[in-house]
Structures are given as C-alpha cells and as structure tokens.
C-alpha cells in the first residue's frame, strides 16, 4: 500500500524541499511561495465550477487571488530589496529512466530569487489593478465568469512559468500561458475573425515552441538535468569541453527562437497585433506583465549561459539584431494605424525590441528594468485606450478626437503614460530606456563592435519614432473635434482608479534604479544562484541621455507639426504618408501575406489534399486492388476446379473459394452469414490446436 | 487473491462469463442485461484496481502470475502463463476501465439497429480479448487473445456501423461503408497476424537449439535471445513487425484505421482507439524488443523513420478532412507515431514515453470519439462544414470537446504532453548502437509535427465550436451532455488532468520494468 505512487507524494511534500543560499534563503516567506502559482491555478478551476454562485459572479475570487499574489509579491520584493533572496523549493514527482541520458527528474518547484520575485511583483501588482478595472469594463459581458476564470488561468500560467526552477515546468507554464491567451483572444468567438486571431496567436507560438522544445531537450540531455541551477552551474564551472558547450550555440539559438514567439520578435511578431481581438483588459495584461515578457524573462533566466564565451555568447549577436529590427520596424508600423489598440500593440513590439536588444547587448539589468517599467506604463496606456473605447464604442481614432474635454482623468493618465513611453525625464521610461542605450554603447566598445554601434543608432531613431507615434495618438484621440457618433463620457471609478494606480508606477518607478544614485533594482535583480555576469551603468551617461531626450523631443515636435492643426477635420492626414514607405507599412511589410500565401494556405490546401488523395488513391488502391485480385484468383481457381480437375487442385480450390467467398462480402452485404463461417473456422482451428 | 494468477484470471475472464450471463437473459429484459453487463465489467475493473493498489512497485518482473507449469497445450509446450508487470499494468487498468465506461455510455446510446443484448455481449467478449492480450505471457495465448479481439469488433462495425454508401476511388466500386470497413479491418489485421504467427512458430522451433525444450513462453524466450541471430532474426522480426505494425497502425499499413473508425459505432471507435491500437505497440514492447533485441537495433532506424513519416503524413491528412470522426481517426495515426518513435529509440526514456503515450492516447482519443459520437448523435452529421457554434448550442459539450482537443494536441499539464515530449527527448540521445544524427533529425521533424497537430485541432474547434450556429441548427432544441455521458466521461477527464500533473501514476509502475527490460535485452551486446 505504501509503495503506491499516490501515497508517496505526501511524504515527499514534506521532505523534498531543498535550498542553497548565497544570499538569504528567505525563510518561511520563500518556503511558502509555492502558493503564488498554485493558488491562481486552483482558483481558475474553482471559478469555472463555482464562480457563478460566488459574490460578483467570480470577480471577487479572481481579484482576491491577484491581490494575494500582489501582496505576497510585494512582501518578497521588499524583503529582497533589503537582503537578497535565493531559494529553490521542489516537490519530487517522478523519476524516469537511468541509462542513456541519466534520470529524468520530474519535479514541481518554485524559484524565489531576484528575477522571479520581480516578476511576481509585476504580475501581481499590475494584475490586480487590471482585474479591478475589468469589473467595470466587462460588466455586461455574456461570459463574465468564464472570462475571469480564464483570466486567472492566464496570470496563473505566467506565475507557473516564472516560478519554474527547471525547463520542463517552464514549458508547462509557457504553454498554459499560450492556451489561456488563446481562450482570451478568442473570447468573442462568435465572430470568425476573433477565433482566427486566437488560432494565429497559438500557432505562431507553437512554431516558436519547436525551438524551445529542441533547445530545452538539448540543454537538458547535455547537462543531465533540466534544473536551471545545475545548467548554470555547468556554465559557471566554465568547462569548455562539456557536452553543453559543444551544443551551446544551437541550443541557445533554439531557445531564443522560442523566446521570439512569446515576446513577439520579428519575424514571429505577426500574432500580437491581431491579439487585439480580445477584450482590452486582456491586451493590457498580455502586453504588460504576462505572456510577451516571457521570452525576455527566459533569456534573463538563462543569462549566464548567453554571457559566457565558452557557451552561447555568439547567439547574442543574433539576439541584438533581431531586437533592433523589431524595435524599428514595429515602431514605424505604429505610425500608420487607425485602431488605437493596434498603435499600442506595435508600440509593445517596439519596446520588446528594446528589451531584446538590451539582452543581446549583455545588459541583463537594463533589459529587465525596461520590462518592469514598461509593464506599468503600457498597462496604463491600454487601460486608457479601453476607457476610451468604452466611451466611444469604437477602436478607431478616426471616430475619436477632442476627448480631453469629456474624459479628463483618462486624458491626464494617458498623457503621462505616453510621456513615460516616449522616455521623457523624469518618468520611469526615461530611466529604463536610457540605461538600455548606455548598455548598448558599452557593448559597442566592449566586443559588440559595428553591430552594436549600428544598433545604438537604430535605438535612438526608435526613440524618435516612439515619441512621434505617441504624439500622433494623443492628438488624434484627445485634441481637435470629436468625430464619432456616440456620447462620450468619463469612465466609472472602478476603471479610472486602477489607471491612477498605474500612473503612480509610471511616474515613480524610475527612482528604483538611477545610475550612481539608487541601486535597489540592480541589487535585487542580482540575487541569483549564479551571478548574471552583466555590465550595468554606475553613473548617468549625460551625452546619451541628452541625445535620447533630444530624439524624443524632436519626435514630439514633429508630431505636433503634423497633427495638431485641423486634426479634427483632416482625415487624410490621420495617417503618416511617406511615399515609398507607406504602402510597405500599410501592408505590414507583406509578412502576414507571405505566411498566409506561401506557408499556411499551401499546407492546409494543396499539400493536405495531396496527402489525402495519395492515401485514398494510391495506398488504399493497393489494398483494395489486392482484395479484388485475390477474389478474381479465387473465382478462376474455382472454375478450374469445377471442370473436373481434382487431386491436388481441390485443396487450393477450397482455399481460393473460401477467400473468394469472404471477398464476395464486398458486394453481398450478408455479413452475419459469412462472419459466422469465419468464426466457426477460427473455433475449429483453436479447438484443433487444443486437442492435438 | 492474486496468488497463482487467480485474480488475474478473474479480471480477464469475468467479462466473458458476463457475456454468457447476458446471453441467458431473455431479450425483452433490457435493464437486467445492462445491469449484468455493468456488474461483470465493474467487477473486472474493481479487481484490476485492487491489483494496482496491491502491486509491488519497487520490483521488476511479473506479479500475480500463474505458475509457469500450468500446462495448456502439452503437445507444443504451451502454458497458461499470465502475469502483469509495470509495463502491462497501466494498460490492463486502462482496458478494464474503458470497457466499464463503454457500457455506462451505452446505457441510452444504442446505435442502429439497437439490439442491446448482442451489443453488450460483444463488448464483454472484446474486454476479455483486450485484457487477455495484456497479461498473456505465452505466445500462443497471446495470439489467441489478439485474434479474439477481432471478431466482436468486426461485428460491431459490420452490424452497427455507418450505412452510407461510398465509391472507392480507382477500383470504382460502390460499397456500403460498414461492410467495407469491417471487412477491411478484419482482413488487414488477419493478414498481419498470419505473419506474426509464422514468426511465433519460428521462434518456437529455434528455441529448442541448445539443450532446452522448445517453448512459447515470452519470459523464457527473452532469456534465450542470443539464440536468435542473423538472417533468421531478420525474418522473424520482419514477420512480427508486420503483425504489430498493422495493428498500431504504422504508415503505410494504416489505411484500415480511418475507415474502421469512421464506420464504427461510437463505442466501437472508442475501444478501437483506446485499446485495440495499443495491442500493436504493446506487442513491440513485450515481444519484439525483449526477444529480438539485437535485431531491434537493426530495425530501429526504419521504425523511427516510418513513425515520423506517420506523424507528418497523418497530420497533413487531418488538415484535409471534412468529417470530424475521420479527422480524429487520422490523428490517431500521428499520435501512435510518437509512441513508435519512443519505442524506436530503444532507450528507457523512450519506452516509458511510449507507455504513457499509449495510456494518454487511450484516454484522450477515446474521449474524443465519445464526444464526437455524442455530437453526431445529436446533429445527425459529422460534416464540419455544416456545423458551427456548438459552444453556444451545447456549452458543456463544447467545453469538454475543447478541453480534450487541447489534451490531444499535447498541452503540458495534461496527459498527452509526456508521451510526446519524452519521445522527442529520447530521440536526441537514442540507444548507443543507433545513428544519433538520424534520430536527432527525426526529433526536429517530430517537433514540427506538433505544430501541425495543433493546427488541425484548433481548426476543427473553430469549425465546430466557434462562430454563430448555422440556421440549420439555431432553431433545434439540442440536449447538452446527459447524465450517462457525464458518468462515462468524468473519470476520463479527471484522469487526463491527473496524469498530466502527476505522471508518476504511470511512471511509478513502468520505470523499473522498462529499465529491467533494457538491461536484460542488451546485456549481450555490451550496451
């Protein structure tokens, strides 16, 4: 009884915990952090079954869960600021195998270190504000309870992902995020284009997951363990002749392909703009704290692996180029959108490009700091956009204009969010973007070479473009005359208060990490089992800060010139028409068309049909042909037999006519009759065997 | 009660005794027939659960077995030797569970022409055949059980199957679907098992080389594996391969499967997918690999390549289907491709992956056929072009359908993930004698297969579940999931989730047995 697997788990729950401590082990707070992923996962199920009967039809359960995560995350965050926590807990679930690869250890664990604590904090705090907001926004939704169940699952999946101490659990969380985003993007599945957008998101991620799977398998098998602590232990040991080092480039590249899917990097970015089909709170959470941050998080998690020259440091060149391409190309796309959510979506892509480029430049702290601050102001912008959409019943900026008079609170918070995004001093975005620029500059002079120098220029141009499209958005939305048909009004307090909360973050969080003055964020993020080994600025780079600010101001100035006047009546000037570039931007660089026309349609159409045809016309025809051939043979032999030739022929004649008889079933349909014969024959043979 | 194989024999033969009992009940007393069938299937399942609880997990080797000298057919030294080890235990429990659930589901879902009595008898006979195959440790016994399975399924498809007429391409004949499919199923499998029997006989005769008595005993033959070498081993493996590969089914021997699944009544499809396909893969693991380990190394690349072709090929074929049931049938070929890929690596991880893959596929695809069967029962069509908005018309049914489809595409956290992921994992580092480059290529292609799998599953969900219901159905009053369906499905749905979160329920049983098998099998080749 005791040996039965189900009973063992209880004992391992108590005994299987392990931790190593370079910093503080976090005590009971860290040991209990398993609740951070588990509570939302369990709650998501409970809401499905009991939500409708609970207060506020499941909203209390969902938001209470997020509040719990937020408070727990905040407590850990503060504690980590004070003394740095590294803790790793695990529950052993199963062992598989012993020979070729060693033992595959299936375990459930929770990581409590600087990186995951930052994510707990971000997901929890931003999450609870968005959940709060969603009560007002989703009020009349047909599937209100279901929405909060899948929303909780979405946040829970992300928490499973960031709490994972090993690659397998990370994959579990990774896919949970994917599937819940599929549910949420397709929330209004009555319309075909929404479910198509959901499928597009899932499939694009699935393509990238091939990379993640392959990379995880290579790393796991090479190291003999999927645990980050052991993988990075091998890296720290710097043994260039290890199996991991041998495959490090390919493994690193494969993992990065996985990250490109979730973090929507060029050219796997196509799903993110379409993901706007989901309700706005979903977009807010997806673009701020969960899902798109997962890829950057993963690179951060494996950072020493990407930093070490004996391992995957060559991949960083790929990473920085992909990041730079994304930040510029997506930023340009944001210039020509009419749908306000699409503007923000492309802006997210662009900002993710910054983060990725920073990771590629070896700037662990800078990249993740931007991830952190961006989480706040992007959530703020999305909630603002949602508030506007709620008021004017349209996503299109051509139906907006002049809204600052009708919705002042939305206007002011949105404006602050836009300035933060554009990187205006002293808002949070300024500090994080500046640190990225400084890191790329450092990389350019420390081995990054011409690539990094080019990326630096691209990043500065990107800052200009960012300011330009945000200025455009603000003018088209809030200035000029109102162009729509609805009666715009300020949103209720349940919606505006969370926006105010996020505004505080967008304004003040830069103070966590001012080079040379405060190092709170840097220090807390450095609480890792294996030191990330990055470079971070220790003083403000004045020249870069001034250039970056100048680029942003120039963007605002140009935007002002282009859109401030007559924006109310001049629909023609809503879009930014540069002769050569515009058709390219309008068609999203033809990438979606390329995928659709050259991959998806051919596979789903001609190729699939060809395989089906091959199956029924070739393989099956061989089978059917053999059947009919045998029957024909049977008939011939039977005729031969009937004409009086006996002896040896009789035997084969019997066999052949038996076969012929069976095959005649193709036409007669008297299946019972013949089947009984077969049955009798079989029984006869079996009985014969027993007797003899 | 499990000493000397008594309990195990009860698990295997209770259903067929139940079939006899049902036969004795007059035709009019339908309720009594159903209760009797439920009782016997339930007893068989309960015993298998007791067996699993009392099973000694730390130990490799067979348990609850009959004494090895229980002679059955003395003249050919064939014994009534049955037993379970960690490899067969999960499959045995799965087979008794699926039988029970099939009877529960059948309670008020009788396919045309109804005749519950005959249908129940067939399910119960089938149950004995399935359970027997998983416990047989004698090749003749294995063969008999393996063949016993054919007849009930043949009748199920042939009598209760799809009555539509189809025109066969190329040969240009019009056939009735159920007749064509049942016959194709029967003859195709018989074709394979004829070779399999030849292989068994060859093993028997060669096993007498050396001083020992000839034997059909699987355990005994595994220990004499060094007798089977060279050209002899090649031909024997080829024969066994044909027998098992048809049953799995592997590309290109799979074409009976889409027809059989599509034509079969719901319960028939469920049992076919959940258990019958596993007889083939189980045969590889139980018979082909341990008895012919060296030859398995020669064949591994071939099996691996066919498996991966199957994955891609079946996924592409799925994309072209318009019939829900046929789509799921093709998806089975792809999923079994992952199982076979795991087996082809000849590693402990790969074979563990294969077994959990079999169990997961049994629960998931069985469940998919249940749901699709129930849906087509209500819509009277399986044509996806005519469906839509199912989520709106039947929210619970739609939700379950979505959940199972997600499980089927290998979502981590649900049962399907482990088999797929670990098969790929094992392919990165296959057994020492195999070509690493080839298997790594197969791994990447297999991983691409998971993308296609997601594609056709999501596409099916979109066509069936999402959108506004077409006019045809919007005025229909459609019943959502009823209580019998719920009773049959909840155990499977819970199982899919539990196995995904806690795979040790399977690995805890299989791992030691698999390691033991690997070590015993390749002791002679220095592996």
Model confidence over A176-227: pLDDT tens digits? 999 999 999 989 888 888 889 999 999 999 999 999 999 999 998 888 888 8
pLDDT at position A553 is 92
pLDDT at position A686 is 60
Bridge partners of A339? A396
Bridge partners of A110? A89
Q: What is the largest CA-CA distance in chain B?
A: 77
Q: Is the pLDDT of residue A16 over 70?
A: no
> Is the domain of A241 the same as that of A120?
yes
> Is the domain of A653 the same as that of A522?
no
Interface A–B counts its CB contacts (< 8 A) at 236
Separate counts of helices (H) and strands (E) for chain B:
23, 4
What percent of chain A lies above the pLDDT cut of 90?
31
Range of the domain at A15: 5-586
State how beta strands B78-79 and B71-73 pair.
antiparallel
Per mean pLDDT, which range of A126-140, A628-642, B97-111, B410-424 is the poorest?
Answer: A628-642
Q: Which residue of B has its CA nearest to A688?
A: B73
Q: Is the pLDDT of residue A21 over 50?
A: no
Q: Which residue has the higher pLDDT, B423 or A657?
A: B423
Instruction: Report which secondary-structure segment, H or E, holds A89.
Output: strand A87-96
From chain A, the residues in CB contact with B173 under 8 A are: 624, 628, 666-667
Contact assignment for A203 to B255 by CB distance below 8 Å: no
Q: Measured between CA atoms, how close is A92 to chain B, in angstroms?
A: 10
Q: Is the pLDDT of residue A1 over 50?
A: no
Selecting from A96, A620, A686 the residue whose C-beta is nearest the C-beta of B511 gives A96
Number of domains observed in the structure of chain B = 1
Contact assignment for A611 to B431 by CB distance below 8 Å: no
Contact assignment for A221 to B429 by CB distance below 8 Å: yes
From chain B, the residues in CB contact with A191 under 8 A are: 467
Q: Measured between CA atoms, how close is A530 to chain B, in angstroms?
A: 26
Bridge partners of A89? A110
SS3 A112: strand
From chain A, the residues in CB contact with B252 under 8 A are: 619
User: Is the Cβ–Cβ distance between A360 and A313 less than 8 Å?
Assistant: no
Contact assignment for A5 to B504 by CB distance below 8 Å: yes
Mean pLDDT of A560-586: 65
CA B408-B413-B418 angle, 5° bins = 65
Selecting from B54, B169, B505 the residue whose C-beta is nearest the C-beta of A621 gives B169
pLDDT band of A12, cuts 50, 70, 90: very low
Contact assignment for A625 to B55 by CB distance below 8 Å: no
Closest CA to B25 of B36, B38, B15: B36
Number of domains observed in the structure of chain A = 2
Per mean pLDDT, which range of A381-385, A647-651, B316-320, B330-334 is the poorest?
Answer: A647-651
What percent of chain A lies above the pLDDT cut of 70?
86
Contact assignment for A611 to B313 by CB distance below 8 Å: yes
From chain B, the residues in CB contact with A665 under 8 A are: 179, 183
Contact assignment for B176 to A669 by CB distance below 8 Å: yes
pLDDT at position A338 is 84
Between CA A365 and CA A532 the distance in angstroms is: 9
Tokens of A689: 């065997």
pLDDT band of A395, cuts 50, 70, 90: confident
Mean pLDDT of A444-461: 87
pLDDT at position B457 is 93
Contact assignment for B54 to A106 by CB distance below 8 Å: no
pLDDT band of A661, cuts 50, 70, 90: low
Selecting from B176, B180, B451 the residue whose C-beta is nearest the C-beta of A207 gives B451
> Is the domain of A581 the same as that of A605?
no
pLDDT at position B286 is 93
> Is the domain of A156 the same as that of A287?
yes
Bridge partners of A95? A105
Q: Measured between CA atoms, how close is B412 to chain A, in angstroms?
A: 5
Selecting from B179, B348, B412 the residue whose C-beta is nearest the C-beta of A100 gives B348
Write down the H helix ranges in B55-115.
Answer: 88-106
Contact assignment for A621 to B170 by CB distance below 8 Å: yes
Mean pLDDT of A148-160: 93
Between CA A508 and CA A649 the distance in angstroms is: 99
Between CA A538 and CA A518 the distance in angstroms is: 9
User: Is the Cβ–Cβ distance between A528 and A86 less than 8 Å?
Assistant: yes
Per mean pLDDT, which range of A139-143, A685-689, B142-146 is the poorest?
Answer: A685-689
Contact assignment for A190 to B466 by CB distance below 8 Å: yes
Bridge partners of A108? A91
Mean pLDDT of A136-150: 87
Cα separations in angstroms, A487 against A169, A388, A567, B316 = 49, 11, 20, 51
Selecting from A199, A206, A679 the residue whose C-beta is nearest the C-beta of B151 gives A679
Selecting from B159, B406, B458 the residue whose C-beta is nearest the C-beta of A203 gives B458
Bridge partners of A88? A111
SS3 B383: strand
How many residues are given for chain A?
Answer: 692
> Is the domain of A250 the same as that of A347?
yes
pLDDT at position B68 is 62
Q: Is the pLDDT of residue A295 over 50?
A: yes
Q: Which residue of A has its CA nearest to B72?
A: A690
From chain A, the residues in CB contact with B422 under 8 A are: 96, 104
Q: Is the pLDDT of residue A528 over 50?
A: yes
> Is the domain of A664 the same as that of A576?
no
From chain B, the residues in CB contact with A192 under 8 A are: 462, 466-467
pLDDT at position A13 is 42
Between CA A362 and CA A320 the distance in angstroms is: 9
Q: Which residue has the higher pLDDT, A434 or A660?
A: A434
- Chain B interface, mutation test: which of A97, A204, A244, A620, most B Cβ atoms within 10 Å? A97
Q: Measured between CA atoms, how close is A271 to chain B, in angstroms?
A: 15
Count CB neighbours of A140 within 10 A: 6
Range of the domain at B371: 3-525
Q: Measured between CA atoms, how close is A620 to chain B, in angstroms?
A: 6
Count CB neighbours of B476 within 10 A: 10
Q: Is the pLDDT of residue A8 over 50?
A: no
Place of tokens 């960012």: A466
Alpha-carbon dihedral sign for residues A580, A582, A586, A589 = positive
Contact assignment for B450 to A628 by CB distance below 8 Å: no
User: Is the Cβ–Cβ distance between B229 and B294 less than 8 Å?
Assistant: yes
From chain B, the residues in CB contact with A217 under 8 A are: 424-425, 428, 443
Between CA A351 and CA A361 the distance in angstroms is: 15
Tokens of B197: 């029997």
Give the residues of chain B that fall short of pLDDT 70. 1, 67-69, 211, 523-527
- Chain A interface, mutation test: which of B255, B345, B459, most A Cβ atoms within 10 Å? B255
> Is the domain of A205 the same as that of A244?
yes
Gyration radius (Cα) of chain A, Å: 31
| DSSP-assigned letter for residue A111 | E
ipTM given for this complex: 0.91
> Is the domain of A521 the same as that of A659?
no
- Chain A interface, mutation test: which of B455, B461, B465, B510, most A Cβ atoms within 10 Å? B455
Own/partner contacts of A599-606, CB < 8 Å, gap of 24 or more, are A603/B316, A603/B319, A603/B452, A603/B455, A604/B319, A604/B455, A604/B459
Between CA A525 and CA A531 the distance in angstroms is: 10
Between CA A327 and CA A330 the distance in angstroms is: 6
Between CA B289 and CA B197 the distance in angstroms is: 16
Pick the last residue of a domain from A586, A618, A642. A586
> Is the domain of A475 the same as that of A547?
yes
SS3 A396: strand
Side-chain half-sphere exposure of A625, counting CA atoms within 13 A: 9
Tell me what percent of chain B is helix, strand and coil, each rounded to the nearest 5: 75, 5, 25
Contact assignment for B458 to A202 by CB distance below 8 Å: yes
Closest CA to A148 of A171, A132, A164: A132
- Chain A interface, mutation test: which of B259, B320, B399, most A Cβ atoms within 10 Å? B320
Closest CA to A466 of A575, A578, A573, A354: A354
SS3 B279: helix
Q: Which residue has the higher pLDDT, B429 or A641?
A: B429
| Cα dihedral: B363, B364, B368, B371 (round 10) | 60
Contact assignment for A96 to B73 by CB distance below 8 Å: no
Angle, helices B116-135/B30-54, rounded to nearest 10 degrees = 20
Between CA A37 and CA B376 the distance in angstroms is: 39
Q: Which residue of B has its CA nearest to A662?
A: B183
Closest CA to A222 of A312, A309, A301: A312
> Is the domain of A426 the same as that of A545?
yes
From chain B, the residues in CB contact with A172 under 8 A are: 412-413, 417
Q: Is the pLDDT of residue A668 over 70?
A: no
Query: How far is Cα of residue A554 from the mean position of the Cα atoms in its chain?
Result: 33
Selecting from B316, B443, B504 the residue whose C-beta is nearest the C-beta of A607 gives B316
Cβ density class A547-582: b for 16+ within 10 Å, e for less: bbbebbbebbebbeeebeeebeeeeeebbbeeeeee
Selecting from B256, B406, B515 the residue whose C-beta is nearest the C-beta of A179 gives B406
Q: Measured between CA atoms, how close is A625 to chain B, in angstroms?
A: 7
From chain B, the residues in CB contact with A692 under 8 A are: 75
- Chain A interface, mutation test: which of B319, B412, B445, B527, most A Cβ atoms within 10 Å? B412
Closest CA to B259 of A666, A369, A419: A666
Contact assignment for B171 to A5 by CB distance below 8 Å: no
Pick the last residue of a domain from A554, A586, A618. A586
pLDDT at position A207 is 92
Between CA A427 and CA A429 the distance in angstroms is: 6
Tokens of B482: 């009823």
pLDDT at position B213 is 84
Q: Which residue of A has its CA nearest to B73?
A: A690
DSSP code per residue over B100-115:
HHHHHHHTT-PPSS--
Cβ density class A629-652: b for 16+ within 10 Å, e for less: ebbeebbebbeebeeeeeeeeeee
Pick the last residue of a domain from A586, A619, A647. A586
SS3 A62: helix
User: Is the Cβ–Cβ distance between B277 and B365 less than 8 Å?
Assistant: no
SS3 A165: coil
Closest CA to B506 of A16, A11, A96: A96
Query: How far is Cα of residue A354 from the mean position of the Cα atoms in its chain?
Result: 17
> Is the domain of A572 the same as that of A600?
no
Contact assignment for A95 to B430 by CB distance below 8 Å: no
Q: Phi/psi of residue B253, each to 5°? A: -100, 25
> Is the domain of A534 the same as that of A601?
no
Tokens of B221: 């033959």
Selecting from A100, A168, A625 the residue whose C-beta is nearest the C-beta of B431 gives A100
Between CA B253 and CA A623 the distance in angstroms is: 9
pLDDT at position B19 is 93
pLDDT at position B526 is 39
């Amino acid at each position: 009884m005791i040996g039965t697997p189900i009973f063992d788990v209880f004992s391992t729950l108590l005994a299987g915990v392990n931790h190593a401590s370079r910093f503080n082990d976090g005590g009971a707070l860290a040991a209990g952090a398993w609740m951070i992923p588990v509570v939302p996962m369990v709650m998501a199920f409970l809401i499905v079954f009991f939500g409708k009967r609970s207060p506020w039809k499941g909203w209390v359960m969902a938001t209470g869960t997020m509040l719990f995560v937020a408070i727990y995350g905040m407590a850990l965050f503060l504690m980590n600021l004070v003394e740095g926590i590294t803790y790793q807990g695990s529950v052993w679930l199963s062992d598989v195998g012993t020979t070729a690869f060693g033992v595959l250890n299936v375990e459930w664990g929770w990581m409590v270190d600087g990186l995951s604590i930052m994510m707990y904090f971000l997901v929890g705090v931003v999450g609870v504000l968005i959940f709060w907001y969603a009560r007002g926004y989703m009020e009349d939704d047909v599937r209100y309870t279901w929405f909060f169940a899948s929303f909780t699952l979405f946040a829970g999946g992300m928490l499973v992902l960031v709490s994972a101490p090993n690659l397998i659990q990370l994959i579990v969380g990774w896919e949970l995020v994917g599937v819940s985003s599929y549910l949420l993007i397709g929330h209004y599945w009555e319309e075909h284009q929404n479910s198509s957008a959901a499928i597009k998101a899932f499939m694009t991620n699935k393509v990238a997951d091939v990379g993640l799977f392959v990379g995880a398998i290579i790393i796991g098998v090479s190291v003999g363990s999927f645990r980050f602590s052991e993988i990075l232990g091998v890296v720290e040991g710097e043994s260039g002749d290890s199996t991991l080092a041998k495959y490090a480039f390919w493994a690193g590249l494969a993992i990065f392909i996985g990250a490109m899917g979730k973090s929507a990097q060029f050219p796997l970015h196509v799903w993110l703009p379409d993901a706007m089909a989901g309700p706005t709170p979903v977009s807010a959470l997806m673009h701020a704290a969960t899902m798109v941050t997962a890829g950057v998080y993963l690179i951060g998690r494996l950072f020493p692996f990407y930093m070490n020259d004996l391992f995957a440091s060559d991949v960083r060149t790929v990473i920085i180029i992909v990041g730079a391409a994304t930040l510029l190309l997506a930023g340009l796309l944001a210039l020509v959108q009419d749908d306000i959510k699409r503007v923000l979506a492309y802006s997210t892509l662009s900002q993710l490009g910054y983060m990725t480029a920073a990771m590629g430049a070896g700037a662990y702290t800078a990249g993740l700091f931007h991830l952190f601050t961006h989480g706040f102001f992007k959530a703020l912008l999305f909630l603002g956009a949602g508030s506007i959409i709620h008021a004017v019943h349209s996503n299109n900026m051509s139906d907006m204009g002049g809204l600052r008079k009708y919705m002042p609170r939305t206007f002011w918070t949105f404006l602050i969010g836009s300035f933060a995004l554009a990187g205006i001093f002293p808002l949070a975005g300024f500090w994080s973007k500046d640190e990225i620029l400084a890191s790329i500059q450092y990389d350019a002079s420390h081995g990054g070479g011409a690539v990094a120098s080019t990326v630096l220029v691209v990043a500065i141009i990107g800052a200009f473009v960012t300011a330009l499209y945000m200025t455009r958005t603000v003018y088209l939305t809030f200035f000029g005359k109102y162009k729509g048909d609805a009666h715009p009004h300020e949103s209720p307090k349940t919606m505006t208060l969370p926006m105010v909360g996020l505004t505080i973050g967008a304004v003040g969080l830069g103070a966590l990490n001012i080079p040379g003055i405060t190092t709170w964020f840097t220090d807390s993020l450095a609480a890792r089992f294996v030191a990330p080994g990055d470079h971070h600025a220790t003083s403000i780079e004045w020249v870069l800060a001034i250039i970056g600010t100048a680029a942003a101001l120039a963007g605002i100035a140009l935007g002002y010139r282009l859109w401030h006047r007559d924006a109310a009546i001049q629909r023609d000037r809503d879009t930014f028409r540069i002769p050569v570039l515009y058709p390219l931007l309008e068609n999203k660089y033809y990438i979606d068309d390329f995928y659709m026309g050259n991959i998806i349609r051919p596979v789903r159409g001609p190729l699939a049909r060809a395989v089906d045809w091959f199956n029924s016309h070739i393989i099956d025809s061989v089978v059917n042909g053999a059947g009919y051939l045998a029957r024909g043979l049977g008939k011939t032999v039977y005729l031969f037999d009937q004409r009086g030739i006996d002896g040896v022929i009789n035997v084969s004649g019997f066999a052949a006519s038996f076969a012929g008889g069976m095959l005649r079933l193709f036409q007669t349909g008297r299946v019972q009759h013949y089947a009984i014969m077969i049955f009798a024959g079989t029984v006869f043979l079996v009985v014969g065997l027993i007797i003899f | 009660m499990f000493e000397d194989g008594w309990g195990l024999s009860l698990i295997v033969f209770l259903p067929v005794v139940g079939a006899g009992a049902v036969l004795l009940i007059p035709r009019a007393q339908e309720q009594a027939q159903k209760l009797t069938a439920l009782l016997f299937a339930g007893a068989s399942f309960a015993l298998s659960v007791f067996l699993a609880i009392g099973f000694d997990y730390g130990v490799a080797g067979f348990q609850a077995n009959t004494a090895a000298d229980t002679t059955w057919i003395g003249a050919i030294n064939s014994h009534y030797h049955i037993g379970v080890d960690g490899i067969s235990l999960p499959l045995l429990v799965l087979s008794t569970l699926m039988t029970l659930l099939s009877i529960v589901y059948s309670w008020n879902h009788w396919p045309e022409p109804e005749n519950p009595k005959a249908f129940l008898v067939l399910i119960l006979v089938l149950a004995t055949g399935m359970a027997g195959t998983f416990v047989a440790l004698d090749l003749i016994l294995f063969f008999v059980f393996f063949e016993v399975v054919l007849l009930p399924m043949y009748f199920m498809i042939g009598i209760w199957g799809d009555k539509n007429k189809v025109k066969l391409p190329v040969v240009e004949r019009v056939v009735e679907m159920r007749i064509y499919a049942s016959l194709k199923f029967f003859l195709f499998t018989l074709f394979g098992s004829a070779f399999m029997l030849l292989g068994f006989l060859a093993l028997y005769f060669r096993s007498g080389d050396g001083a020992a008595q000839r034997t059909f005993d699987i355990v005994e033959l595994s220990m004499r594996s060094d007798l089977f070498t060279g050209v002899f081993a090649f031909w024997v493996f080829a024969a066994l391969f044909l027998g098992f590969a048809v049953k799995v089914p592997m590309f290109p021997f799979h074409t009976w499967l889409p027809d059989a699944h599509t034509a079969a009544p719901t319960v028939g499809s469920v049992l076919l997918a959940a258990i019958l396909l596993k007889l083939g893969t189980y045969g590889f693991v139980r018979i082909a690999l341990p008895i012919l380990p060296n030859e398995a190394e020669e064949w591994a690349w071939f099996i691996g390549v066919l498996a991966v072709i199957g994955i891609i090929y079946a996924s592409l074929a799925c994309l072209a289907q318009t019939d829900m049931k046929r789509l799921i049938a093709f998806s089975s070929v792809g999923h079994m491709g992952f199982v076979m890929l795991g087996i082809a690596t000849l590693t402990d991880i790969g074979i563990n992956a294969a077994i959990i893959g079999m169990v997961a596929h049994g629960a998931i695809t069985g469940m998919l056929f249940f749901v699709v069967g129930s849906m087509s029962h209500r819509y009277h069509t399986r044509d996806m072009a005519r469906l839509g908005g199912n989520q709106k018309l039947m929210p619970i049914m739609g939700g379950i359908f979505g959940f199972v489809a997600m499980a089927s595409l290998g979502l981590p956290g649900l049962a399907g993930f482990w088999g797929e992921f670990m098969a790929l994992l094992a392919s990165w580092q296959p057994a020492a004698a195999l070509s690493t480059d080839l298997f790594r290529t197969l791994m990447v292609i297999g991983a691409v297969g998971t993308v296609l799998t997601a594609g056709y599953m999501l596409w099916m969900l979109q066509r069936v579940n999402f959108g506004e219901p077409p006019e045809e159905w919007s005025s229909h009053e459609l019943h959502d999931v009823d209580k019998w369906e719920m009773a049959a499905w909840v155990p499977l749905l819970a199982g899919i989730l539990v196995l995904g979160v806690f795979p040790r329920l399977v690995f805890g049983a299989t791992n030691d047995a698999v390691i033991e098998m690997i070590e015993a099998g390749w002791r002679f080749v220095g592996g």
